[in-house]
Amino acid sequence: MTENQEIFGNVIKISLGGKELRLSPTLACCMMLSRAPGLEVLRQRVVSYDLEAMVMVVAAGIGQNAKEIAPSILKAGMTNIMPSLNEVLVGIARGGLTSAPEGDDKGEALAGS
């Protein structure tokens, strides 16, 4: 497996600056996000509308520099893209699943907002 190979089948699409972006949970993306402040801390920052955290998730998900992402996030509306970014982080924590397997209550802290 290469660092840029998608490791989960779930790709989250968001619209920024009139462009549809595919946030892919590649190994490099997962490693970058998990070492930053950690997935749960980062998720809490995203759901609190922390622009820096949102930029970090988008940049890691598209594998590009974050330089031009912040203005696009503000223009798109942080409340509009927050659920998708939260879904990216929860999906990574759950091994690519968008919801917990039936009867599995692990990861509930990640699923809540």
The answer as to whether 62 is a domain residue is yes
Q: How far apart are CA 72 and CA 9, in angstroms?
A: 26
* DSSP annotation of 25: -
Q: Per residue in 1-46, pLDDT tens?
A: 344 444 455 678 888 888 888 887 777 788 888 887 788 999 999 9
Query: What is the total count of domains within the chain?
Result: 1
Structure tokens at 106: 């692990």
Q: How far apart are CA 82 and CA 93, in angstroms?
A: 17
pTM given for the model: 0.75
User: At a CB cut-off of 8 Å and minimum separation 6, what does 57 contact?
Assistant: 23, 33, 42, 46, 85, 88, 89
Structure tokens at 23: 């946030």
The answer as to whether 4 is a domain residue is no
The answer as to whether 110 is a domain residue is no
Q: What is the mean pLDDT of the chain?
A: 77
Range of the domain at 36: 12-97
The answer as to whether 111 is a domain residue is no
